[in-house]
Amino acid sequence: MSDFNLAIPHVLQHEGGFVDHPNDPGGATQFGISLRFLQQSTANITQTDIRHLSVADAIKIYEREWWQRYHYAAIDSQQLATKVLDLAINMGSHQAHICLQRAVRATTGNYLTEDGVLGCQTLNSLNTANSDVLLAAFKSEAAGFYRNLRQPQFEKGWLMRAYD
């Protein structure tokens, strides 16, 4: 069983302060929490609200909207759970879970539907896999996803994050 409190420092190393890059479809972002994301769940959120988001608020959002929602504590390997959280925040949980399912299939031979759902079959397969080998394959799948986005202004940072 993995621990959110051990995972969150790694995420915060990758997620800086306020950014509003014109090529980022998420819009204004603070600590990796985008305006677009918060507008999906909260009415009347503005760029000013994002700018004033605290680290403590971001941590609460990460725990509720990612760690708890997708049951990352059920991942036995702390390193793998941390990486799944980190990449789900950056590329979206659905895509991170697809990368994970591809990595599980590549390393175990277990067939998993690439549906982006971290369900019982995916959890059982990843928890019985060699976690070091699976983590390496997961990083590779994430890097491939980032390369296919063809956004050179972000690619170097994304690849560093994928392989970190």
Alpha helices in the chain (DSSP H): 4-14, 35-41, 47-51, 55-62, 78-91, 93-108, 120-128, 131-149, 152-163
All structural domains of the chain with their residue ranges: 4-163
Which homologous superfamily does the CATH classification assign to the domain defined by 4-163? Chitosanase, subunit A, domain 1 (1.20.141.10)
**Which of 22-31, 119-128, 143-152 ranks highest by mean pLDDT?**
119-128
Per-residue pLDDT band for 43 (boundaries 50, 70, 90) equals confident
Q: Supply the pTM of this predicted model.
A: 0.90
Mean per-residue pLDDT for 97-115?
A: 94
Average pLDDT rounded to a whole number, residues 131-139:
96
